Chain A
Amino acid sequence: MKTLNRRDFGVAVAAAILLPATTARAADDMEVHIDNFVFQPAELKIKVGTTVTWTNRDDIPHTVVSAGKFRSKTLDTDDKFSFTFTNAGDYKYFCSLHPHMTGMIKVE
């Protein structure tokens, strides 16, 4: 995932040079934290091309799963999972171990 991020960062830098600032900001990375069995923020609005990184800050493992779209490995404490959204749309996701934990990424 680190490689991906670095590449995205490179793209972002190139974009910042060549394109208006708004486009550059669209590639900024976003964070979702898992605290107390909750995805925070529960809903995130991002631009196409944004990488979202989830970090599990609980003492219990969690997963990040969006059916047919992405699926993390089991995230133990402080483990991270990143996914770059290349298509617009609404991405509902949940923790497959604790399915009452749900979240949404809206990609424009």
Chain B
Amino acid sequence: MSGHDHGDDGVSRRKVLECMTWAGTGVLWTITGGVPRSLGIIDSAQAATAAAPGMTFLQISDSHVGFDKPANPNALGTLEEAVGKINAMPAKPSFMIHTGDITHLSKAAEFDNAERIISQSKLDVHYVPGEHDFLDEEVKFYRERYGRGTKGQGWYSFDAGGVHFIGLVNVVDLKAGGLGNLGAEQLAWLEDDLRGKSKSTPIVLFAHIPLWTVYPEWGWGTEDGGRALEYVKGFGSVTVLNGHIHQVMQKVEGNVTFHTARSTAFPQPAPGAAPSPGPMKVEDAKLRSMLGVASINFKQNEQRLAIIDTPIQG
């Protein structure tokens, strides 16, 4: 639904509503007994948070600061609302990850605005870039802000709460006709980073574009994502967190759980449900009433995850 007035509003808008997914606020994760489980989006997660022991962390994604098109004329505003909800949570999460597309056009002012709002959460934030964060001529604004201590184009790992977190970059050097791309240098680093780790160490991989193939027709996948997944095969618990597609999508394959987060800016259509993956235009009131509508849960100590769609609207 990119674009303005292409004159096909009737059909596509109906389709859009049928296939609606929602711009949410963020996904709350908790780690209990080494297994990350999503407590769903923030509204429905608040009660659970208070009771959940162990480490909790947040994932937000695709804030697209600077986006001002009809699908959401004020993407900074909805990011601020998301941060407001984070601040209202009864239990403070340990930290937050942002899975990219912080800005819409990589303008310095967009990065500054995003930082101003996100820092109000007073949480450590671990970023990975989206393709919208590398658009400035010299490709320096993201790196100046978030690249410190990272390798290559901005990949890195860290440990928290007994979990090994790995932030990957799959939005650089994309090939014509292809998908997201990690590249040989990053894959070699990943293999090395995992070497010697106990197989019982829970692994969280996060990157902007889904590391699994969601819908290649729209470029929703990573060309060499399978290589990365081979390296984590032997680990008992692997969780892959991505953004980019502005909707929740999940898959479980063996010990690996895949999950994509909502955007804080605008929704995108379900795969194939619209002529393109562009922003979906819905009424403003509808957009906000949809916040917090669906939740996703990892059942503790189970491989299979449960999807709970809970519409709060009317």
Contact = CB atoms under 8 A, between A and B. Distances in A.
Interface residues of B, number: 30
B6 A35 contact: yes
A37 B105 contact: no
A58 B276 contact: yes
| Overall SS of chain A's interface | loop
A38 B276 CA distance: 8
B219 A57 contact: no
Given A59-B70, A61-B135, A92-B176, A99 B4 contact: no
Interface in A54-99: 57-61, 65, 67, 73-74, 76-77, 92-94, 96-99
Interface in B171-196: 174-179
A98 B3 contact: no
A60 B131 contact: no
Find the residue from B71, B176, B278, B279 having the highest chain A CB count within 10 A: B176
- State the majority secondary structure of interface residues on B: loop
B174 A97 contact: yes
B277 interface: yes
B280 to A, nearest CB: 10
Nearest to B71: A59
B2 A100 contact: no
Interface in B269-293: 275-279
16 contacts: A36-B3, A36-B278, A37-B2, A37-B277, A38-B276, A58-B3, A59-B3, A60-B279, A67-B176, A74-B105, A97-B131, A97-B174, A99-B176, A100-B177, A102-B176, A102-B177
Given A59-B69, A99-B174, A99-B176, 16 more contacts: A35-B2, A35-B3, A36-B6, A36-B275, A36-B276, A37-B2, A37-B277, A58-B2, A58-B276, A59-B71, A60-B2, A61-B135, A97-B131, A97-B174, A99-B175, A100-B218
